[in-house]
Amino acid sequence: MNFLNKEEQKKTSAFLKTGYLICKVENMSSLKYISSLISKSINLQLKKNKSLNLNKIHETLQIKELNNFRLNIISKINKDKLFRYHYFNLAKETLYLLAGNELMMQKNINLSIQFPNDNSSLLPIHSDVWSGDSAYELNLWIPLVDCYKTKSMLILKKKYLPYFYNKMKNKKIKNSKDIFNIIKNKIEWIDIKYGEFLIFDQTVPHGNVINKEITTRFSLNCRFKSLFSPYADKRIGEFFEPITIRASTRIGKNFSFPFTE
């Protein structure tokens, strides 16, 4: 039997059909906290006292400076004790619905920055399970600016997965460019605004291309999974950390039968 209410069933069915959901963030104060934290980190690096328009950050930095700039921000924001808490709060109820309420969370949240016409920040089409992620993981993707067309990420329409797997058996496929050419007419571009979040199924191929829009992409991403679901190469303590362990789990984990003679 299915004890989910009608709205939960509708949301679940949509996710299973498409491989992703786009929803309004569930806690705007948490989004403001994250945005403010990133703005402060940027200002510290650039030694500026005013907030910058993230869409136009490419007017301030050169491409050759971008990777170090990005890594420094990642380091700073992940040292903030409340950052991951607020990140989780952006989609808490949807994560509970799709993955369960005893969750593991990635220890370090990633930041992607993609300047217009920059070919140094590409993530060729891939599925995360091809490189050590569990099929039981979900990726929570947060845009810090409006993302659309080539400024966003692409994802294979889930109905074409059988077609894709069949084509992958072709020995003529040598690289990600060949993969993209096979499925370029079967992908969709995620159109998402600041104030929304994307949760997607990592088994579905996704990636990005050169940003042909006139503004910069800023986005965060972090993986979540059920505490008791199977793991792949990324393990507890190394990559994941428990964030919502329930009382009965704590009791069961610590229980042992009394010693009897």
Determine contact, residues 196/22, Cβ cutoff 8 Å: yes
The whole-angstrom separation of Cα 89 and Cα 79 is: 18
Has this prediction a pTM greater than 0.75?
A: yes
Dihedral class, residue 237 (left if φ above 0, else alpha if ψ from -120 to 50, else beta)? left
Q: Which residues contact 13 (CB under 8 A, 6 or more apart)?
A: none
pLDDT given at position 1: 83
pLDDT given at position 178: 82
What is the three-state SS of 76-135?
A: HHHHCCCHHHHHHHCCHHHHHHHHCCCEEEECCCEEEEECCCCCCCCCCCECHHHHCCCC
With a cut of 50, which residues of the chain have pLDDT below it? Answer: none
Output the CA–CA distances (angstroms, integers) from residue 166 to 19, 110, 161, 170, in the order listed.
19, 32, 9, 8
Token pair in block for residue 114: 């993609």
Q: Please calculate the CA angle 195-225-79 and round it to the nearest 5 degrees.
A: 65
pLDDT given at position 177: 79
